[in-house]
Amino acid sequence: MDAFFAAVEQRDNPALKNKPVIVSGNSKRSVVSTASYEARLFGIGSAMPVFQAKQKCGHLIIVPGNMKKYRTDSKKIMEILSHFSPLVEQVSIDEAYVDIKGCERLFGSSKNIARAIKKNIYAELSLTCSVGIAPIKFLSKIASDMNKPDGITIITKSQVKNFIFSLPIQKVPGVGKNAMKQMKILQIKTLGDINKYTLPILSKKFGKMGQRLIELSNGIDSSKVEINYIRKSISSETTLSKDIFDFETIKQVLLDRSQIVGKDLRKKKLVCENVFIKLKFSDFSQITRSKKLDTFICSSSAIFNEALALYKKILLKKKIRLVGVGVTALKDKNTPVQMQLIPDRNRRKDQWESVDSAIDSISKKFGDNIVRKASLTKTNYRRNPDAE
The CATH number linked to 58 is: 3.40.1170.60
Q: How far apart are CA 156 and CA 163, in angstroms?
A: 10
Q: 279 and 355: one domain?
A: yes
Note the pLDDT tens digit of each residue in 333-343: 876 555 555 55
Q: What is the mean pLDDT of residues 152-175?
A: 94
pLDDT for 349: 45
CATH code at 241?
3.30.1490.100
Q: 24 and 166: one domain?
A: no
pLDDT band, very low/low/confident/very high, at 118 (cuts 50, 70, 90): very high
Note the pLDDT tens digit of each residue in 252-278: 999 999 999 999 999 889 999 999 999
CATH code at 192?
1.10.150.20
pLDDT for 244: 92
Q: What is the mean pLDDT of residues 112-129?
A: 98
Q: How far apart are CA 378 and CA 368, in angstroms?
A: 18
Q: 312 and 364: one domain?
A: yes
Q: 22 and 167: one domain?
A: no
Prior bond of 173 cis (ω within 30°): no
Q: Note whether residue 376 is domain-resident.
A: yes
pLDDT for 357: 65
**This prediction's pTM:** 0.78
Radius of gyration of the chain (CA): 23
CB of 303 within 8 A of CB of 297? Answer: yes
pLDDT for 241: 86
| 284 Rama sector, left if φ>0, alpha if ψ -120 to 50, beta otherwise | left
Q: 239 and 382: one domain?
A: yes
Q: What is the mean pLDDT of residues 134-143?
A: 95
Q: 56 and 31: one domain?
A: yes
C-alpha distances (whole Å) from 1 to each of 19, 238, 380, 387 are 18, 25, 38, 21
pLDDT for 375: 64
The closest of 259, 270, 268, 273 to 304, measured between CA atoms, is 259
Query: What letter does residue 208 receive in the DSSP assignment?
Result: T
Q: 273 and 376: one domain?
A: yes
Q: 184 and 285: one domain?
A: no
Structural domains counted in the chain = 3
Note the pLDDT tens digit of each residue in 90-100: 999 999 999 99
Note the pLDDT tens digit of each residue in 299-316: 999 999 999 999 999 998
Query: What letter does residue 192 receive in the DSSP assignment?
Result: G
Q: Note whether residue 184 is domain-resident.
A: yes
pLDDT for 350: 56
pLDDT for 381: 57
Q: Note whether residue 118 is domain-resident.
A: no
Q: What is the DSSP string of 80-116?
A: HHHTT-S-EEEEETTEEEE--TTTHHHH-SHHHHHHH
User: Which residue numbers are catalytic?
Assistant: 95
**Domain extent for 209:** 159-217
Q: Note whether residue 163 is domain-resident.
A: yes
Q: Note whether residue 141 is domain-resident.
A: no
Q: Note whether residue 304 is domain-resident.
A: yes
